[in-house]
């Protein structure tokens, strides 16, 4: 073979081998870095841009796509120990001309974490209101979406700042009393009785505990490689002390039933989406909301657990779009009447 041709194949082979070896090395040695790259790539692919907003000396990190238009903007509040990128699976199924905003909740990811901050549910709602004012999202009423802890905050926000929002979607929200104890609540009681409350099932510190948490939160059984489980744990471990402090704050008497205490003040049309097989927060909470909020539309998803956003993203996105379309149609009918 001609030496020049041979050299060309060697160079080409080396060029291909470098990224492959880099990927394998990242997967085996630094899985947490691979996870960060994954989210970065997914944000770019979906057109989500990351920005920062400052309120005095407090910084909010958020991602957004689109601009405010004739349809309401959508603000999304994630759950406990998650971050803004958890919404990417739903963003994928939402129209690109919708104005979407996903914010890191207080103390999470790129948003300021301060030992002096109020992490109660009402304190978090106040912080989110500051964020809304920072980016002037409330120039027009917007649609607010929240899941789990974020659902609790979203409900309290809707009650405390009704002029800001036009409608509300609550996905498996916390903050409600339940007549039926979920598996998670039973586990917490067992831990309290054995004085091992530091072993909170939602705060894993090993790959095995991460696998158990995924089983607890999801009805669908995802096959997650050991290296990815390790990466997920590595990303979380530096924040686990904060997560423990936050968890004790949101289950404290001041916040435990915040949504329930405020739901009579919610006047905006409300959509509730819940996984029927939720093992973290029992699905009976949906009927509690339906009985207290006048204009409440409830959707119970079969074969779905607490992680509705991950397990049923297309269905969740479609339900939100259908709900907004219904409200738009009802507004038009009122104007024509």
**Does 155 score more than 90 pLDDT?**
yes
pLDDT tens for 306-317 read 999 999 999 999
Cα 177 from chain centre: 21
Specify whether the CB–CB gap between 167 and 143 falls below 8 A: yes
What's the pTM?
0.90
Class of domain 47-336: alpha beta
- In the chain, domain spans: 47-336
Gyration radius from the chain CA atoms = 22
Q: What is residue 17's predicted lDDT score, i.e. its pLDDT?
A: 40
Apex 275 CA angle, 271 and 281, nearest 5: 95
Burial of residue 87 (CB within 10 Å: 0-12, 13-18, 19+) is buried
**Active site amino acids:** 148, 278, 306
pLDDT tens for 85-136 read 999 999 999 999 999 999 999 999 999 999 999 999 999 999 999 999 999 9
CB count, 10 Å around CB of 130?
A: 15
Q: How far is CA 277 from CA 207, 289, 290, 304, 305, in A?
A: 24, 18, 19, 6, 5
Give residues with Cβ within 8 angstroms of 99, minimum separation 6. Answer: 64, 65, 66, 67, 68, 69, 71, 73, 74
Q: What is residue 196's predicted lDDT score, i.e. its pLDDT?
A: 66
SS3 31: helix
């Amino acid at each position: 073979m001609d030496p020049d041709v041979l050299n060309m194949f060697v160079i080409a082979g080396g060029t291909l081998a470098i990224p492959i070896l880099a990927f394998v090395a990242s997967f085996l040695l630094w899985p947490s870095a691979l996870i960060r790259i994954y989210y970065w790539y997914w944000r770019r692919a979906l057109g989500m841009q990351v920005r920062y907003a400052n309120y005095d000396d407090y910084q909010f990190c958020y991602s957004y796509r689109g601009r405010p238009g004739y349809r309401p903007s959508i603000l999304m509040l994630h759950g406990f120990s998650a971050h803004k990128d958890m919404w990417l699976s739903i963003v994928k199924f939402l129209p690109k001309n919708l104005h979407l905003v996903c914010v890191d909740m207080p103390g999470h990811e790129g948003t300021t974490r301060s030992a002096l901050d109020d992490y109660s549910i009402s304190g978090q709602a106040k912080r989110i209101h500051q964020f809304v004012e920072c980016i002037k999202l409330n120039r027009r009423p917007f649609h607010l979406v929240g899941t789990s802890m974020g659902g609790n905050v979203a409900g309290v926000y809707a009650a405390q700042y009704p002029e800001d929002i036009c409608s509300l979607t609550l996905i498996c929200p916390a903050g409600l009393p339940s007549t039926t104890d979920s598996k998670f609540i039973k586990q917490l009681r067992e831990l309290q009785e054995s004085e091992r409350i530091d072993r909170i099932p939602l705060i894993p510190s090993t790959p095995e505990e991460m696998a158990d948490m995924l089983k607890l939160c999801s009805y669908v059984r995802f096959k997650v490689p050991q290296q990815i489980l390790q990466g997920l744990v590595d990303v979380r471990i530096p924040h686990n002390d904060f997560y423990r402090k936050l968890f004790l704050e949101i289950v404290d008497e001041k916040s435990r039933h915040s949504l329930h205490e405020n739901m009579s003040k919610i006047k905006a049309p409300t959509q509730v989406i819940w996984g029927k097989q939720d093992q973290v927060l029992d699905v009976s909470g949906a009927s509690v909301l339906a009985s207290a909020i006048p204009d409440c539309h409830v959707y119970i998803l079969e074969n779905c657990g607490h992680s509705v956003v991950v397990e049923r993203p297309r269905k969740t996105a479609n339900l939100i779009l259908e709900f907004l379309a219904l409200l738009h149609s009802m507004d038009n009918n009122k104007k024509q009447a």
